[in-house]
Structure 1
Amino acid sequence: MVSGERVFEVVHRGFRALGRVQAHPSPSAGPVLLVGGAMQRKEGWGRFEGVLRRESTVVTVDLPGWGGAEVLPARYGIGFLADCLAAVLRAAEVGAVDAFGGSYGSAVAYRLAQRHPQLLRRIALFGALGRIPHGMHGRMAETIGHLRAGRRDRFAGEVLAAMLNQDPSIRLARRGAVERILYTVFHGIGPTEAEQYEQNTLRLLAPGPFDPFPPPAGPVLFGVGEHDSFTTVRHCREFAASCPGAPFVRLRDADHPVHLRCPDELAGLLQRFFRGETLESVPGCHPVEYPALTR
């Protein structure tokens, strides 16, 4: 076990979740919570987490339906997961946190900010979605079919085709490495992880819009990889517009898995935001925007 690491279990309404605290011995910034997307495990944040740990205690989670936790049936919604995450944070005993939510995790982190604002200081949401974008419904439903039929090659290939930009003419940081990492993860999932994937995907395919109102009371940052073809720049900019005054940034040379494409640049951006510093001229980012809501 890594020095300063604590792993613990929380049971929320009969479902088990796991928390992991990587304690910094003398932090110069507040604690940071990381909430990830599909198949993200609490131990699997890699270099991105390592950069954040240079100045902060970091909390990672396996919520029901993730990693070492059990399957969560799709009928349990995002609000249930947010309440479960709140229980994990209380058990972590680190005080109010700055939070990063990526992809699927962005919806959970957003609901946490709506329902349990006292647990958060600032929140950053990248590749934000409350439901799978409409144009991706058919493709994501097909991935479940491949998984049920045992076609692991097709399953992993289709997931990557949906989540990663396939245009060979654009520049993507760590293109080959990221594709190999994600293909290995999705191709190698076991029976429990396959059930987790199916139920989590069905949850995000459920009918009905994700209601972003009322927006969180605390500061919110929205961001996206400039080449994200899954949760597109337009989609994420529209989500950002629901939070008046929230800054919106595009990361260069990145698509959907921003923490894998550009871990140093993303961590540096978050550290600035969490400290309340200016987001102008951040390395690896396009100029900050402040989208206006049109209703």
Structure 2
Amino acid sequence: MPEEIIRTLSVDGVRYSYRVLRHDRGAGAAPATEPALVLGGALQGMYGWPQMDDHLGPAADVVTADLPGMGSADPLPPGPSADILRRAVLGIADDLGAPRMNLFGFSYGTAIAFGFARRHPERVARLALGGVPVHIGAAQVERWERGRALLAAGDQEGFAALAADALMCLDPERPVYRRELARRYVRRSFLHALARSPHAADSLHRALADRPDFSGGLSGVPALVFAGEHDTVTSPERQREFAATIEGSRFLTLPESDHWVVLERAVEVAELVARFFTEGPPASAPVSLPRQAGAPVGRTR
């Protein structure tokens, strides 16, 4: 059985925690790669990544976290949060005693991972980013403002429905694998998070109000950026343009998926990230991914 370790840290007096999952690899056997820290959306905590545990665990110590303002952690203080979140990640790396870590950021977590890599490239072995919200259009902003109003009015059911729809491609002309299943799951996840965390609403407000900075480029860190081909939060084309600002990076789209590619294509994403962290950047040719229900494989651009 894997060994699970949970540690509590603090940054600027804000308590947060992280979890390490270590597999038994046999006497004297070391992990194949550096620890892998997984950073997700504003309401995705340390227990939301079982597929990463399964696919990364044999090769690396898998690290997940309730960063400040998320899950069981203390709420964030008023004001910009990017710096305190980056220092929380640095605290995890230091507490692990890891000179370098692999970083995987999804959605909101991409801003934290990318910002950390820009400021501490020497601490990042490889960087994988999925569903990068590089550009949020006026329609998305207006929809999220309506969501904030629903939350303020106490309508959690209405907010969960609006938020799930805002993050998904509902166009019937664009096929999305397990769309309705994913839609129901996302709604339930929002409601569950709002019910169990006293500051979940504040975390959502902050995630919606913050304008993450993806400028400045990056060099010296092997990087992979991927998107669902029907991502309606930020188009794959804009995410590809962002990937081009990272020296030597690769960009890949996964078919029949949208912004929630990590849910709709959970196995493919976990396999892709695990392979990238253990074997380096994918080749220029199309990457062969495990198929689900006869779906086509992923493709690079």
1:292 aligns to what? Answer: none
Aligned with residue 112 of structure 2, among 97, 108, 115: 108
Taking the aligned partners of 2:86 and 2:134, their CA distance within structure 1 comes to 13
1:44-123 pair list within 5 angstroms: 44-73=48-77, 75-123=79-127
Task: Give 1:161 deviation, angstroms.
Answer: 1.3
Asked if structure 1 preserves the Cα contact closer than 8 Å seen for 2:250 and 2:282, the reply is no
Q: Structure 1, residues 246-292: CA drift from partner, whole Å, max 9, x if none?
A: 11000112111222111221122222322225343323454322xxx
Aligned with residue 29 of structure 1, among 26, 29, 33: 33
Task: Give 1:215 deviation, angstroms.
Answer: 1.3
1:147-162 pair list within 5 angstroms: 147-162=151-166
Q: Structure 1, residues 6-31: CA drift from partner, whole Å, max 9, x if none?
A: 00111111212211000122233332
Q: 3-state SS of the aligned residue for 2:270?
A: helix
Task: Give 1:73 deviation, angstroms.
Answer: 4.1
2:169 aligns to what? Answer: 165
Aligned with residue 229 of structure 1, among 228, 232, 235: 232
Distance 1:94 1:5, change over 3 A: farther
Distance 1:174 1:55, change over 3 A: farther
Task: Give 1:165 deviation, angstroms.
Answer: 0.7
Instruction: Report the AA paired with residue 271 of structure 1.
Output: A
2:299 aligns to what? Answer: 287
Q: Structure 1, residues 122-178: CA drift from partner, whole Å, max 9, x if none?
A: 101111135644441111121111011011221011101110111123322222321
Asked if structure 1 preserves the Cα contact closer than 8 Å seen for 2:165 and 2:183, the reply is no
- Residue segments in structure 1 that go unaligned for 5+ positions in a row: 290-295
CA RMSD of aligned residues (A): 2.0
Q: Does 1:203 align with 2:210?
A: yes
1:169-208 pair list within 5 angstroms: 169-188=173-192, 189-190=194-195, 191-204=198-211
TM-score calculated relative to the size of structure 2:
0.87
Task: Give 1:83 deviation, angstroms.
Answer: 1.7
Asked if structure 2 preserves the Cα contact closer than 8 Å seen for 1:17 and 1:88, the reply is no
Q: 3-state SS of the aligned residue for 2:73?
A: coil
Distance 1:53 1:187, change over 3 A: same
Asked if structure 2 preserves the Cα contact closer than 8 Å seen for 1:163 and 1:256, the reply is yes
Asked if structure 2 preserves the Cα contact closer than 8 Å seen for 1:72 and 1:200, the reply is no
Task: Give 1:94 deviation, angstroms.
Answer: 4.1
Q: Structure 1, residues 192-244: CA drift from partner, whole Å, max 9, x if none?
A: 2122212232223xxxx725214142111111011111121122112112123
Asked if structure 2 preserves the Cα contact closer than 8 Å seen for 1:100 and 1:123, the reply is yes
1:38 aligns to what? Answer: 42
Q: 3-state SS of the aligned residue for 1:89?
A: helix
- Residue segments in structure 2 that go unaligned for 5+ positions in a row: 26-30, 290-296
Q: Which moved more, 1:154-163 or 1:80-89?
A: 80-89
Q: Which moved more, 1:233-242 or 1:194-203?
A: 194-203
Task: Give 1:186 deviation, angstroms.
Answer: 1.3
Task: Give 1:49 deviation, angstroms.
Answer: 3.1
Taking the aligned partners of 1:271 and 1:287, their CA distance within structure 2 comes to 17
Q: 3-state SS of the aligned residue for 1:195?
A: helix
Identical counterparts, % of pairs: 31
1:258-273 pair list within 5 angstroms: 258-273=261-276
Task: Give 1:70 deviation, angstroms.
Answer: 2.0
Q: Structure 1, residues 40-65: CA drift from partner, whole Å, max 9, x if none?
A: 01111122432221322100111111
